[in-house]
């Protein structure tokens, strides 16, 4: 398990790929496919470090503030953080500890704008691109239990899409969707 000291040392030495990989290695949502989909950026590594520090109840440490600043500075003008996976991680990280603010609102609006008519999200951040069930399940897993996310996107449409297409999902997507479904239904039921 990665310690806070290891997180800080790896982040400070700018080994963002390594930090991201180390932090995702033991997570239930971690997979080779997800690691290939996410942009290897300071934002993704910082977001994962924030999430882990929050899980360990260590968000009070001064280093956490550096991570928050790195995530906020990395937000693009459109409200996202490059790819949709990194955007979901950054929003989740900023929401840790009941976070709120303009960066979160802009990120949620970005995801809402990209949601396709079918209810799920495209494989890259262009609405005209094909839908991506795996990416959509990842978004729902990361953010589905957050009321602000549920109020920003058309969650019911996403849940209906997955319910209607569950038999068509590949094994990785089905596994992620099963975990995401539990989170989404906590608040929406």
Residues 3-13: what's their mean pLDDT?
Answer: 91
pLDDT in tens, 46-97: 999 999 999 999 999 999 999 999 999 999 999 999 899 999 999 999 999 7
Whether this prediction's pTM lies above 0.85 is answered by: yes
Cβ atoms 80, 57 nearer than 8 A: no
Neighbours of 141 (CB within 10 A): 23
Q: Given a cut of 90, is residue 163 above it in pLDDT? A: yes
Cβ atoms 64, 99 nearer than 8 A: no
Residues 151-173: what's their mean pLDDT?
Answer: 94
The confidence score (pLDDT) of residue 98 equals 75
The confidence score (pLDDT) of residue 103 equals 96
Specify burial of residue 5 (Cβ count, 10 A radius: 0-12, 13-18, 19+).
exposed
Least reliable range by pLDDT among 1-5, 149-153, 167-171 = 1-5
């Amino acid at each position: 398990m990665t310690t806070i000291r290891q997180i800080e040392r790896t982040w400070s030495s700018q080994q963002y790929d390594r930090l991201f990989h180390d932090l995702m290695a033991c997570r239930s949502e971690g997979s080779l496919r997800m690691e290939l989909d996410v942009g290897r950026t300071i934002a993704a590594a910082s977001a994962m470090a924030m999430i882990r520090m929050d899980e360990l109840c260590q968000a009070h440490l001064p280093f956490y503030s550096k991570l928050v600043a790195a995530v906020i500075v990395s937000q693009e003008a459109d409200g996202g953080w490059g790819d949709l996976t990194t955007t979901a991680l950054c929003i989740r990280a900023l929401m840790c500890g009941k976070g709120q603010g303009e960066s979160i609102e802009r990120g949620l609006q970005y995801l809402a704008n990209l949601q396709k008519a079918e209810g799920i999200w495209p494989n890259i951040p262009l609405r005209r691109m094909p839908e991506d069930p795996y990416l959509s399940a990842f978004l729902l897993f990361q953010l589905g239990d957050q009321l602000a996310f549920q109020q920003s996107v058309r969650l019911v449409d996403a849940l209906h899409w997955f319910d209607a297409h569950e038999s068509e999902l590949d094994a990785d997507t089905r596994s992620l969707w099963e975990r995401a479904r539990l989170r989404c239904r906590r608040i929406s039921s």
